[in-house]
């Protein structure tokens, strides 16, 4: 690109303008029909003159040279023919540098020496659009290191709490590195005074909790850890106790809808009334101060339902949660304290039928703690497709995504069943309420719906199909880059979920213990 003196360009444009104006005048004198080509040329020259005079544009002599590499002359000729076909189909005509191969080779070397001097005049605007090496950087002055930009090897350093909301979604097929990425983000976020809470369906985060001195709660039917769904929410100074209690009762009705496998509108009304009466038995009403009240248990609700008109059937269906096999988990006072920097709730040992119930109750308990004390937090829901199975749990998760910002909470939603997640009516709203989105390797079955949802180009689509473990696309706000996740050796030892690595670590620990 060779800049041309603006004054010389203006003189040439003045001459050209005079020629065009003369031609237009001659046509008018002859009574010919107006020529739109001349009119357009006149307007373009005038506009360019104005922009050059105001220093908003410059004009350059521009040469575009392409170098072709091949292993043999036959391959070289084939590649040349393909490139010429592609370019000429777009009305871009190329010529080989016949008898000037040496000058051409010197011109494309990184020495800024244009020995071919085959140039076309272009002003700044179209010239900027042909520059082919545009790659977004996501490097800011604060935040954590997420990975390396695969296009230009710059560091992707970002602070999720600097965006309009603090939520993120992670989509990937099994074994593509989503848990590894999440653990890395957790480790690095903990150093920046962020509290992290995880709902873990596969007990993947137990070792990490142990390594950083966090708390690990195993939620199962035989577990010693219990959460009472009737625990009362904290009432903030700017909130009405009546509104908080009403909202909590609505959430409880949604929970019982999941537990009962659905309820009719009539049963919904009976359940709502029964919950109010159950709280009233403990002197908890919209008009009372219930900040220090002892909440009821599920068995209290069963007794109330048994004595209500239309409640007998509901009470019967509650028996398995209060006296049956599933009584241990729900029908006891809460003994879980999440006042730690890092807390993990594992639901791996919970029966599949009860997992959505358990995740809903755990999330509700976490939400109560989030509302109680304002601090920078991340809530991570792994295998979130469990939550999307029920409209009530999916709706609750969406409300967390929408309301979390007010309480400094960032929700991270992770799933490998992308198709099921996106086909839920709550899936797309959760994505649109997440300023950060991370896509790792996708399956061929789900790639088309992912491409449509995230407006990916075909190149980005194939990038996701062909990515290695820990590679994908990182979206932050309006920008997105291709990412490669990189961890240090120590981080890798803490966060790996590769079975072969875990086995090696276990053996080394056993050998060390035996030698002692």
Task: Give per-residue pLDDT as tens, 373-389.
Answer: 888 999 999 888 878 87
Task: Give per-residue pLDDT as tens, 395-404.
Answer: 888 988 998 8
In the predicted structure, residue 23 carries a pLDDT above the cut 60:
yes
Task: Give per-residue pLDDT as tens, 141-151.
Answer: 788 999 998 88
pLDDT of residue 414: 92
In terms of pLDDT, which residue wins out, 300 or 140?
300
pLDDT of residue 170: 93
Same fold: 135-220+340-516 with 228-333: no
Question: 157-166 burial, b for 16+ CB within 10 Å, e for fewer?
Answer: bbebbebebb
In the predicted structure, residue 391 carries a pLDDT above the cut 90:
no
pLDDT (average), residues 107-130 = 86
pLDDT of residue 374: 86
Give the rounded percent of residues in the chain with a pLDDT score beyond 90: 21
- pLDDT-derived band at 132 (thresholds 50, 70, 90) equals low
H-helix or E-strand spanning residue 57: none
pLDDT of residue 136: 60
In sequence order, what are the residues at sequence separation of 6 or more whose Cβ sits closer than 8 angstroms to the Cβ of residue 270?
305, 308, 310, 311, 314
Task: Give per-residue pLDDT as tens, 439-495.
Answer: 999 888 888 888 888 888 888 888 899 889 899 999 887 788 899 999 998 888 888
In the predicted structure, residue 135 carries a pLDDT above the cut 60:
no
pLDDT of residue 326: 73
In the predicted structure, residue 111 carries a pLDDT above the cut 70:
yes
pLDDT of residue 289: 78
Comparing CA positions, the residue from 199, 319, 219 lying closest to residue 260 is 319
pLDDT of residue 390: 78
Pick the CATH number of 135-220+340-516 from 3.40.50.12280, 3.40.50.300, 3.50.50.60, 2.40.320.10: 3.40.50.300
H-helix or E-strand spanning residue 410: strand 409-415
Task: Give per-residue pLDDT as tens, 209-243.
Answer: 988 999 999 888 888 888 888 988 888 877 888 88
In the predicted structure, residue 515 carries a pLDDT above the cut 80:
no
In eight-state DSSP terms, residue 33 is P
In sequence order, what are the residues at sequence separation of 6 or more whose Cβ sits closer than 8 angstroms to the Cβ of residue 247?
233
Comparing CA positions, the residue from 360, 382, 88 lying closest to residue 368 is 360
Task: Give per-residue pLDDT as tens, 145-170.
Answer: 999 988 878 888 888 888 888 999 99
For the chain, what are the domain ranges? 2-129, 135-220+340-516, 228-333
Both tokens assigned to 329: 């988990």
pLDDT of residue 78: 93
Cβ(342)–Cβ(196) below 8 Å: yes
Task: Give per-residue pLDDT as tens, 482-503.
Answer: 999 999 988 888 887 666 666 7
The CATH number of the domain covering residues in 228-333: 1.10.8.730
Task: Give per-residue pLDDT as tens, 414-429.
Answer: 988 787 788 888 888 9
Query: How far is Cα 335 from Cα 291, in angstroms, rounded to an integer?
Result: 18
Does the reported pTM lie above 0.75? Answer: no
Both tokens assigned to 349: 């040992």
Cβ(464)–Cβ(136) below 8 Å: no
H-helix or E-strand spanning residue 451: helix 447-454
Both tokens assigned to 428: 């797309």
Give me the torsion for CA of 303, 304, 305, 310, rounded to 10°: 130
In terms of pLDDT, which residue wins out, 516 or 51?
51
In the predicted structure, residue 131 carries a pLDDT above the cut 80:
no
pLDDT of residue 501: 66
Comparing CA positions, the residue from 447, 441, 443, 413 lying closest to residue 427 is 413
pLDDT of residue 485: 93
CA atoms within 13 Å, Cβ hemisphere of 311: 20
Furthest C-alpha separation in the chain: 108
Query: How far is Cα 420 from Cα 446, in angstroms, rounded to an integer?
Result: 9
In eight-state DSSP terms, residue 139 is B
Tell me the three state secondary structure of residue 130. coil
- Please, what is the average pLDDT of the chain? 86
Query: How far is Cα 498 from Cα 505, in angstroms, rounded to an integer?
Result: 11
């Amino acid at each position: 690109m060779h800049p041309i003196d603006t004054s010389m360009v203006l003189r040439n444009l003045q001459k050209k303008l005079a020629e065009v104006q003369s031609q237009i005048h001659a046509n008018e004198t002859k009574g010919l029909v107006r020529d739109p080509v001349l009119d357009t040329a006149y307007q373009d020259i005038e506009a360019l003159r104005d922009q050059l005079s105001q220093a908003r544009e410059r004009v350059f002599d521009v040469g575009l040279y392409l170098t072709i590499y091949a292993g043999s002359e036959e391959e070289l000729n084939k590649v040349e023919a393909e490139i010429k076909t592609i370019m000429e189909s777009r009305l871009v005509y190329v010529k080989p540098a016949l008898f000037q191969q040496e000058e051409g080779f010197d011109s494309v070397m990184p020495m800024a020496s244009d020995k071919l001097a085959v140039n076309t005049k272009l002003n700044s605007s179209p010239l900027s659009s042909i520059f082919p090496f545009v790659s977004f950087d996501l490097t800011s002055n604060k935040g954590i290191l997420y990975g390396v930009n695969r296009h230009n090897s710059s560091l992707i350093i970002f602070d999720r709490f600097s965006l309009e909301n603090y939520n993120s979604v992670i989509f990937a097929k099994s074994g593509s590195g989503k848990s590894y990425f999440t653990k890395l983000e957790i480790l690095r976020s903990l150093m920046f005074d962020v509290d992290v809470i995880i709902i873990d369906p596969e007990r993947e985060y137990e070792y990490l909790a142990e390594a950083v001195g966090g708390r690990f709660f195993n939620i199962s039917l035989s577990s010693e850890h219990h959460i009472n769904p009737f625990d009362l929410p904290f009432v903030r100074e700017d909130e009405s106790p009546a509104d908080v209690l009403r909202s909590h009762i609505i959430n409880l009705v949604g929970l019982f809808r999941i537990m009962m496998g659905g309820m009719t509108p009539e049963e919904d009304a009976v359940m709502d009334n029964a919950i109010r009466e159950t709280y009233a038995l403990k002197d908890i009403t919209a008009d009372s101060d219930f900040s220090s009240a002892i909440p009821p248990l599920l068995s209290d609700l069963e007794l109330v339902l048994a004595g209500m008109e239309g409640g007998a059937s509901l009470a019967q269906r509650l028996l398995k949660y209060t006296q049956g096999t599933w009584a241990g988990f729900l029908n006891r006072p809460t003994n879980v304290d999440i006042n730690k920097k890092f807390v993990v709730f594992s639901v791996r040992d919970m029966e599949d039928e009860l997992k959505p119930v358990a995740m809903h109750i755990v999330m509700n308990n976490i939400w109560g703690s989030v509302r109680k004390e304002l601090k920078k937090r991340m809530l991570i829901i792994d295998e979130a497709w469990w939550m999307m199975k029920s409209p009530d749990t999916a709706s609750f998760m969406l409300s967390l995504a929408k309301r979390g910002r007010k309480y400094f909470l960032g929700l991270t939603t992770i799933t490998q069943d992308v198709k099921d997640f996106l086909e839920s009516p709550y899936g797309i709203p959760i994505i649109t309420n997440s300023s950060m989105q991370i896509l790792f390797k996708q399956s061929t079955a789900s790639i088309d719906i992912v491409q449509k949802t995230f407006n990916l180009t075909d190149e980005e689509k194939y990038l996701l199909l062909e990515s290695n473990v820990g590679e994908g696309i990182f979206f932050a706000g309006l920008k997105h880059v291709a990412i490669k996740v990189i961890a240090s050796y120590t981080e890798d030892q803490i966060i790996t979920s590769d079975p072969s690595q875990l086995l090696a670590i276990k053996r080394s620990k056993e050998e060390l213990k035996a030698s002692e």
